[in-house]
Amino acid sequence: MAGRLQDKIAIVFGAGSVGPGWGNGKATAAVFAREGAQVACIDVNRAAAEETVAIITAEGGRASAHACDATHSDEVAALVADIVAAHGRIDVLHNNVGYAGMGGPIELDEADWHRTLDLNVTTCFLAAKHVLPHMLARKKGAIINVSSVAAIRYTGYPYSAYYAAKAAVNNFTIGLALQYARDGIRVNAIMPGMMNTPLIHQQIAGQYASTEEMIAARDAASPTGKMGTAWDIAHAALFLASDEAAYINGVALPVDGGLTCRVA
C-alpha cells in the first residue's frame, strides 16, 4: 500500500548513520519518504543527515537535513519552531537517538552514566517537550520512541546504564501515551532485538575477538538464526506512524525475531 504517510510532516531524530550502510533512523526516514511524508532528517552530524536526504531526493522523495544536538533543549526548540514555521505542523515524531556504552557500575564513571541516560532518554523528553504543544494544538499526532529489548531482558552485554535507560524509555512512552490519549496523540515504542546495523560495529564489536565472531554470535542468538536489519525497524515505525495504527497506543513492540519469547 503506497502513500501511507502521504503529505504528513515527519521529523526523525537520529536520521543519519554512524557508518556505511543502513541504520535504523536512516532507513526509517527513507521509508517515511517513500510513503509520501515530508521528512525532516535530524542528526548531530549534518553530513550524515545530508546523506540520508540525498538518498531520499534521488528517489523522488521530499526531505530536509538539519543539524541538532538532541540533548540540548534550546537547539531542539529552535529546530522544531523552524519546521513548524516551514510546514505548519508536525504529524509524526520519531526518536531514534541512542547510545550503548559498555560497563557496569564499577567500570562506568558518572559522566558515562549520564551520557547514556541523556542520549537515550533525555533526547526523547526534549523532543516531546517541544513537539507536543504543536500536536496538542491540532489534537493529533504520533510519536515513536526507539527503545531496545534490553529494556526488559538481559542481552548478554555489560551495559548497565543502557538497560536502565531503555527501561526508562519504555515507561516514559507509556506515561505519555496515557496522559495524551484523549488529546488524539498516540505514543508507542519499538524494541529492536539483535540487529545488524552500523551501530553494532561501533559500539558492540569490542566485546568480540573479531567482526566475524560478533556477527556469528548475534545471528545465533536470534531464534530465526539471523539478525534483523534496519528495514525491519523502519517498517514497524511506518505502521505505528500511520493511521492503520489509530487504536494502538502505549505499546512497546518487540522487533526481535522472537528473542524476548525465550526463557533462556
Tell me which residues are annotated as active site.
162
- What is the enclosing helix (H) or strand (E) of 65? strand 62-67
Angle at 242 between CA 100 and CA 230, to 5 degrees: 35
Cell numbers given for 100: 550503548
For 24, the 3-state DSSP assignment is helix
Residue 156's alpha-carbon distances to 73, 125, 217, 218, in angstroms, are: 34, 28, 11, 10
Query: Rounded to an integer, what is the distance from CA 106 to the centroid of its chain?
Result: 29
Rounded Cα–Cα distance for residues 140 and 133 (Å): 11
**DSSP character at residue 195:** B
